[in-house]
Structure 1
Amino acid sequence: MVQVGPAQGGTVEIEFTAEDVARTRFAVSPLWEVVASVRVLKGADDQGVHRRWAEQVRPLLAAAKVDLTPLSRLIALGAECVPSFLVPPPTTPQPSLEVELAALRATPLELLRTTTPGVQECAAELRENPGRELGRLAEVIAAYWEVALAPYWPRMLALFEGDILNRAIHFAEGGARRLFDDFGPQVTWDSGTLQLVRRSSRGRRELGGRGLLLVPSAFVWPRIFSNLGSGDWQPTLRYPPRGIGTLWEQGPQPCSDALAGVLGRTRARLLAELTAPASTTDLARRIGLSAGGVSQHLTALRAAGLVSAHRTGRVVLYARTGVGESLVGDGRRYGV
C-alpha cells in the first residue's frame, strides 16, 4: 500500500546503510500523477492549491465524456493509502505513461490484492479477469491523461526536473542530511536514519540495500506518500516539489524596481521568475517573449554570473546563482 503521511501521527524510522545511500535515486511518474490528480478532483485539495487546474479540466473531462469510474473506484479518498499495484515505482528516471501502462497491464495476479478500505471489491473484480479489467483500466487512464494532464505535463515536468536538480546540488554540498533538510516537518534526518511522520504506523524499517526512490509529485501537497514494504519494489517517497504554489499561476513574479534599473525590466523579471530552475520555453511562456529573446537575455545573465545552466536529458534548466539569489532577495527585503 502507498500510505499517506500527514504532519501528525506515528513516526517510522527508515534505516540507511552505505549501500542504501548509494542506491537512492530520483524519478518522475506520469501514472502516479494520474492517480494523485484524481484524488484532487475527488476533493483531496483542502488548501485549494490545484483549484485553477481543477476548474479548467472538469468541463473538459465532461465534454470528452471520460468515464473515470474504473479508476475512481480504486481511489478511496477517505482511506490512508492507495493500492500499490495501481502505482508501481518507476524503474527508470523518466518513464512515459505508455511504459507505465504496459507495466500495469502486466501486473501479476498475486499483486492484485489490497487491504485499502473501500476498494477490496474492485480489486477482486480485477483478479477475476485481469487481462480484460487491467486493459480497461489502462484505457481509462490514457483517456484521462490526454485531457487532464498531457497539456500541462511540460510545465509539471520542468517543476520536477528543477526540484531534482536543486536536491542533487544539496546532496553534493552536504550529503544526505542536506538532501532531506527541506522536505518539511514530516521528514527529518538523524545519524543515518530518516524519520517519517505517518498517520497510522510507527516503528523501524530497513531498506535492505535497495536505497530509497524519491518521486516529486505535483498533486500530493502538503502530504508525503510512502511505500516502504511492497515486495521487491524499491521503497518510495512521493513528495511535493519546491515551487508547487506557483505551478498554476499565470501572473508575473514581482521584481525589484531597483534591480530593473540596473539590469533592465526583462532581465530583472527573468531573474525573479527563477524561484525554481526553469527552461527557456517555460520562461518565455511566463513573461510573453519569444524563446529566442529569452535565450539572449539568459545568456547575458549567465555571463554576469547571475544564472547557471544545467542540462537534464534534452532540456537545459536555468537557475539563479548565489549572487543572483542575493540580488533578488535584497531587493525584496528592502521593498524596492
Structure 2
Amino acid sequence: MPMYMRFGPEDLLRCRFAISPVFETHEAIRTLRRTERHGYHRPWLRSLGDAAAGLDLAPLWIFMPNPGPSYTPDFLGGPPRDTYTSVADGLARLRATDPALAHAEMTMSFGTIPGAAESPLGRKLLADPAAAISLMADLTERAWHVLVEPFWPRLRDLLEADIDYRARQLASAGLGELFALLHHRLSYADGLLTVSTKSRDRYERDLAGDGLLLMPSAFVWPDVVTGFQPPWQPTVIYPARGVGSLWAEPGTGAGQALAKLLGAGRAAVLAALDEPASTSALARRLGLAPSSVSAHLTVLKAAGLLTSHRERHRVLYERTPLGGALAAGG
C-alpha cells in the first residue's frame, strides 16, 4: 500500500542527505537471511565465511521476520542528525534511547509480527526495555565489527559518491524530479510524495516543517524504506547507485569476455558509462557515429543493462546494477 508524505513550503527547504553506519549495519543483518537481497551481495556473503555464524542475532532478527513486511522499531536505526555520523555516535544514540519509547516501538513492531510478542524472547524484551536497548546495542556493535567495518571504506565511498551525484541531479532537475530518479517507487506531485511499498498498512505524514531526510544504502537494495514516526525525522532510504559493481573485482580478460557476449560496440558503450552520459557525449568519447551509439544504447536498455532519464535538453543513460556488475566483470 502506498505511503504518503505531505510537503509544506518549509519542508522543501529542509530536505537533506545523510549516511548512517548503524542503519547500514542493521540492513546488512537483514540481508544475511533475505535471499531476495543476495543478488549483487553474494561476493560479500562469501567473504564473510563463517564469521557471521558466531553472532547471536535473534534479538534483532525477531524484528526482521523473513518474509516481511513488518514494522522495525525506529530507534534501532533512527535517522541521524548530521550528514556524516560515526558509528560511535550512532551507537551512543541507540544506547541513549528512552526505555518508554523503546517499549512503545517494540510493541508496535510485534503488532505486525504474529506470535512475536508471546514468544519467550518477545516477552523478555518487553519486560525490561532498558535491558533490551543495551542488548540490541551490544549486538549491533558486534555485527558492525564483523559484517560492515572491514568493508566500510568501500561502502562509504559508494554512499558518498551517490550523494555527490544526487546533488548534481538536484541542481539540474529540481527536487520534484529527483525523487523519481532515486527509485521507481517514488513519485512527487502537488506537494505529495508517494512511496509504493509492500506494506499492508497505510501511512500518511504531514512533514510539518521537519523536512525530509534522504539516505542512500547499499544493503537496502532492491527496496525503498520509509515510515519513520515522530519523534524521528521523516526519512526515505533508497538503494545507492553503483551497488551492482560494489563487490565486483575485475577478472582476467573480463573486457574480452564482455565483448564476446555483447559485441565490441555494445561492450564499449557499457564500459564507458562510469558516469551518466548522453548519446553525443558517448559518441565523442568512443569515436563512434552517434547513430551507432544510439542503436547500442537501445539494445542495452531493452536488455535491462541501462536506464535513461531526461535532464533538460539531454537524455542521459546510466548502468543498472546488472549493467554495472557486467561492466566490472562480476
TM-score, normalisation: structure 1:
0.70
Q: How many residues align?
A: 269
The equivalent position to 1:78 in structure 2, one of 54, 67, 74, is 67
For the structure 1 residues 19 and 33, does the alpha-carbon distance in structure 2 shift closer, same or farther, using more than 3 Å as the test?
same
Whole-angstrom CA distance in 2 between matches of 1:33 and 1:66: 17
Whole-angstrom CA distance in 1 between matches of 2:233 and 2:74: 12
Match of 2:4, SS? strand
Match of 2:195, SS? strand
Deviation at 1:329, TM superposition (A): 7.2
Tell me, yes or no, if the aligned pair for 2:20 and 2:85 is still in contact at 8 Å.
yes
| 1:217-255 deviation line (CA, Å, top 9, x unaligned) | 111111111024x12211011110111111111116859
For the structure 1 residues 152 and 323, does the alpha-carbon distance in structure 2 shift closer, same or farther, using more than 3 Å as the test?
farther
Match of 1:227, SS? coil
Q: Which amino acid in 1 is paired with 2:213?
A: L
Tell me, yes or no, if the aligned pair for 2:14 and 2:211 is still in contact at 8 Å.
yes
Gap regions ≥5 residues in structure 2: 260-267, 297-330
| 1:152-204 deviation line (CA, Å, top 9, x unaligned) | 11111111111111111111112112321312321112232212112223464
Corresponding residue for 2:227? 227
| Identical-pair percentage | 31
Coordinate RMSD, CA, aligned:
3.1
Gap regions ≥5 residues in structure 1: 1-9, 258-267, 277-319
Deviation at 1:44, TM superposition (A): 4.3
Corresponding residue for 1:93? 83
Q: Which amino acid in 2 is paired with 1:237?
A: V
For the structure 1 residues 46 and 25, does the alpha-carbon distance in structure 2 shift closer, same or farther, using more than 3 Å as the test?
closer
| 1:253-280 deviation line (CA, Å, top 9, x unaligned) | 85999xxxxxxxxxx9xx948348xxxx
Match of 1:219, SS? coil
The equivalent position to 1:57 in structure 2, one of 45, 48, 72, is 48
Match of 1:50, SS? helix
Whole-angstrom CA distance in 2 between matches of 1:96 and 1:39: 21
For the structure 1 residues 176 and 330, does the alpha-carbon distance in structure 2 shift closer, same or farther, using more than 3 Å as the test?
farther
Q: Which amino acid in 1 is paired with 2:65?
A: A
Is 2:116 the partner of 1:105? no
Deviation at 1:328, TM superposition (A): 5.1
Corresponding residue for 1:42? 33
Corresponding residue for 1:208? 208
Is 2:58 the partner of 1:69? yes
Which structure 2 residues correspond to residues 227-246 of structure 1 after superposition, within 5 A?
227-228=227-228, 230-246=229-245
Tell me, yes or no, if the aligned pair for 1:243 and 1:275 is still in contact at 8 Å.
no
For the structure 1 residues 175 and 330, does the alpha-carbon distance in structure 2 shift closer, same or farther, using more than 3 Å as the test?
farther
Is 2:238 the partner of 1:247? no
Whole-angstrom CA distance in 2 between matches of 1:22 and 1:202: 26
Match of 2:2, SS? strand
Tell me, yes or no, if the aligned pair for 1:44 and 1:77 is still in contact at 8 Å.
no
Which structure 2 residues correspond to residues 162-181 of structure 1 after superposition, within 5 A?
162-181=161-180
TM-score, normalisation: structure 2:
0.71
Deviation at 1:11, TM superposition (A): 2.4
Whole-angstrom CA distance in 1 between matches of 2:19 and 2:48: 22
Tell me, yes or no, if the aligned pair for 1:216 and 1:240 is still in contact at 8 Å.
yes
Corresponding residue for 1:306? none
Tell me, yes or no, if the aligned pair for 1:27 and 1:93 is still in contact at 8 Å.
yes
Corresponding residue for 1:186? 185
Q: Which amino acid in 2 is paired with 1:57?
A: L
Corresponding residue for 1:156? 155
Match of 2:50, SS? helix
Deviation at 1:215, TM superposition (A): 0.7
Corresponding residue for 1:218? 218
Whole-angstrom CA distance in 2 between matches of 1:30 and 1:226: 17
Tell me, yes or no, if the aligned pair for 1:215 and 1:237 is still in contact at 8 Å.
yes
Whole-angstrom CA distance in 1 between matches of 2:15 and 2:232: 13
Deviation at 1:32, TM superposition (A): 1.0
For the structure 1 residues 204 and 60, does the alpha-carbon distance in structure 2 shift closer, same or farther, using more than 3 Å as the test?
closer
Corresponding residue for 2:6? 15
Tell me, yes or no, if the aligned pair for 1:37 and 1:219 is still in contact at 8 Å.
yes
Corresponding residue for 2:194? 195
| 1:261-315 deviation line (CA, Å, top 9, x unaligned) | xxxxxxx9xx948348xxxxxxxxxxxxxxxxxxxxxxxxxxxxxxxxxxxxxxx
Q: Which amino acid in 2 is paired with 1:172?
A: A
Whole-angstrom CA distance in 2 between matches of 1:83 and 1:247: 28
Match of 1:215, SS? strand
